């Protein structure tokens, strides 16, 4: 049949065997039982082939862990089962909570935009105008150009994109609840329609795929909620302070981590700079991060000129309110006009100063993380920058994501800063991007990782 992939296995419905002629019965006896056995064997072989194909396709689907990958795999598998080379899946959960997404197979971005101009009834996917999907969520258009009852725009788009026929299925999560997640449609180049066996296999596959998609939808919603909460708990923008320019990069995994940063204007033109992180991941760590950051801001306003006092107060609060947690923190009281900064750290990585004449780690006192000792206190360290130098504060996730021991990861960070091009030395935003690309190449900064990365750069003009 035109438009059907010839590689699709033949129908599982084996024709009934032809009865032997009287001459055959006379010469060779009655072979009817043998022919019936052969027919059963053929049918069993076809069923095994179908089950094997479904198993392989569903195994590939379950290996996907993002919605876009799962939707793309659904389209490819459906195209294999139905013999179609182009398709479109629209994710639009019925509860209206999202996420919404459209993924095409063999279609460009402009093609997807053209298809979206076709009027679609609620819950349908390129169905006839005013017609709701059949109870099974299946709609077949065997001849798009000549079929009666189609919306004129539907026929116009089909002719423009070269669609001769289409087959669509609703994606319904749960056999009993019947909650639509969206719909998928596959297109044929010529008038055609899948046979009953192909439709049955596609329906079985989509039933499994929809259950997988429903899990990914819930996971995506949870991750989006955590990301939104985390973003709201971090500064919406960095302040503008005379004599200093700031830039920050924050990378986090899908589960959400507890690393934070802050840049807080203080009285008399000073600026408080902080990076830190709490133990754990997920919503609880994000919430704890928000509480600690808010507390640190309050302590910084009251006694920011004494970073040791700020961290001591934060440690006491953590020990009394969240005794099961620990945290690292680095706080600095900067005076941009004097190009001076007073630093105190609690179990945190040493900051790095980057300039045209020197690239070196600053000496800070060794101390335990907050919440690890009955009473935390450590001396502060004072640093005076030269004009054009940048102070780089970061969390240990930048080092952990390299997968190397800490000493080698620190050496890699130093080498990345030492090879920074001239534009990076003049612009802190360019510098942090250069550091991320060099220390975490090949997309390691964007990879799914339990380690957060915070990189805060402060350039003294």
Residue 438 CA to residue 432 CA, distance in Å, equals: 10
Residue 241 CA to residue 239 CA, distance in Å, equals: 6
Partners of residue 103 on adjacent β-strands: 89
The alpha carbon dihedral of 293, 219, 437, 405 has a sign of positive
Question: What pLDDT, on a 0 to 100 scale, did the predictor assign at position 270?
Answer: 94
| Number of neighbours of residue 384 by Cβ within 10 angstroms | 11
Residue 329 CA to residue 393 CA, distance in Å, equals: 11
CB 144 within 8 A of CB 203: no
Question: What pLDDT, on a 0 to 100 scale, did the predictor assign at position 248?
Answer: 95
- In the chain the first and final C-alpha atoms are separated, in Å, by 73
The CATH code for residues 22-225 is: 3.30.450.40
Question: What pLDDT, on a 0 to 100 scale, did the predictor assign at position 366?
Answer: 65
Class of domain 234-460 (CATH, top level)? alpha beta
| Encoded tokens for 9 | 């296995």
Angle at alpha carbon of residue 199, lines to 110 and 98, rounded to 5°: 50
Query: Is residue 59 classed as helix, strand or coil in its secondary structure?
Result: helix
Residue 419 CA to residue 441 CA, distance in Å, equals: 15
| Encoded tokens for 404 | 């190397």
Q: How far lies 373's CA from each of 221, 259, 295, 440, in Å? A: 38, 21, 19, 33
Q: Over the chain (461 residues), what is each successive 10-residue block's mean pLDDT?
A: 42 45 49 72 81 90 91 94 93 88 91 85 42 61 89 90 93 72 93 91 91 91 80 85 93 78 93 91 83 92 91 89 88 94 89 93 79 73 92 92 92 94 94 94 79 92 89
Contacts of 100 (CB under 8 A, 6+ apart): 91, 92, 93
Residue 277 CA to residue 266 CA, distance in Å, equals: 22
CA 376 to chain centre: 39
Radius of gyration of the chain (CA): 32
Q: How far lies 426's CA from each of 234, 374, 416, in Å? A: 26, 43, 16
Query: Is residue 139 classed as helix, strand or coil in its secondary structure?
Result: strand
Indicate the length of the chain as a whole number: 461
**Segments of the chain assigned to CATH 3.30.450.40:** 22-225
DSSP 370: B
Residue 376 CA to residue 317 CA, distance in Å, equals: 11
Helical (H) or strand (E) element with 426: helix 422-426
Residue 219: CA count within 13 A, CB half-sphere:
12
| Encoded tokens for 435 | 């550091």
| Encoded tokens for 125 | 């996917």
**Segments of the chain assigned to CATH 3.60.40.10:** 234-460
- The model carries a pTM of 0.66
Question: What pLDDT, on a 0 to 100 scale, did the predictor assign at position 13?
Answer: 41
CA 309 to chain centre: 40
CB 339 within 8 A of CB 460: yes
CB 192 within 8 A of CB 142: yes
């Amino acid at each position: 049949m035109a438009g059907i992939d010839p590689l699709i296995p033949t129908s599982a419905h084996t024709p009934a065997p032809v009865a032997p002629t009287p001459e055959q019965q006379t010469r060779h006896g009655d072979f009817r039982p043998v022919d019936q056995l052969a027919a059963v064997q053929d049918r069993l072989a076809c069923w095994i082939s179908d089950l094997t194909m479904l198993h392989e396709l569903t195994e590939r689907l379950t290996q996907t862990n993002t919605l876009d990958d799962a939707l793309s795999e659904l389209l490819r598998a459906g195209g294999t089962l139905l013999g179609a080379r182009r398709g479109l899946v629209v994710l639009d959960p019925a509860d209206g909570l999202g996420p919404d997404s459209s993924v095409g197979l063999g279609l460009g971005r402009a093609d997807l935009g053209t298809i979206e101009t076709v009027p679609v009834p609620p819950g349908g996917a390129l169905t006839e105008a005013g017609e709701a999907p059949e109870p099974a969520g299946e709609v077949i258009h065997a001849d798009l150009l000549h079929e009666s009852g189609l919306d004129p725009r539907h026929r116009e788009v089909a002719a423009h994109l070269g669609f001769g026929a289409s087959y669509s299925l609703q994606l319904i999560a749960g056999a009993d609840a019947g909650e639509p997640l969206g719909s998928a449609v596959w297109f044929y180049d010529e008038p055609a329609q899948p046979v009953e066996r192909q439709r049955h296999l596609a329906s079985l596959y989509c039933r499994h795929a929809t259950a997988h998609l429903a899990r990914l939808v819930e996971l995506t919603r949870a991750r989006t909620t955590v990301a939104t909460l985390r973003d709201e708990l971090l500064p919406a923008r960095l302040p503008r302070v005379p004599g200093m320019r700031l830039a920050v990069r924050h990378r986090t995994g899908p589960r959400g981590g507890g690393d934070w940063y802050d840049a807080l204007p203080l009285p008399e033109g000073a600026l408080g700079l902080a990076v830190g992180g709490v133990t754990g991941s997920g919503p609880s760590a994000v919430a704890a991060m928000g509480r600690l950051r808010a507390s640190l801001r309050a302590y910084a306003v009251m006694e920011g000129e004494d970073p040791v006092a700020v961290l001591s107060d934060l440690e006491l609060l953590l020990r009394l309110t969240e005794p099961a947690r620990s945290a690292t923190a680095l706080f600095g009281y900067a005076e941009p006009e004097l190009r001076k900064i007073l630093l105190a750290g609690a179990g945190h990585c040493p900051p790095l100063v980057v300039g045209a004449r020197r690239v070196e780690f600053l000496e800070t006192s060794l101390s335990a993380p907050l919440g690890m000792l009955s009473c935390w206190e450590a001396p502060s360290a004072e640093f005076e920058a030269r004009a054009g130098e940048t102070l780089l504060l970061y969390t240990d996730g930048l080092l952990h994501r390299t997968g190397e021991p800490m000493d080698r990861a620190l050496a890699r960070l130093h080498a990345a800063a030492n090879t920074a091009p001239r534009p990076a030395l003049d612009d802190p935003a360019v510098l942090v991007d250069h550091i991320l690309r060099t220390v975490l190449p090949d997309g390691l900064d964007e990879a799914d990782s339990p380690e957060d990365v915070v990189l805060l750069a402060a350039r003294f003009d």
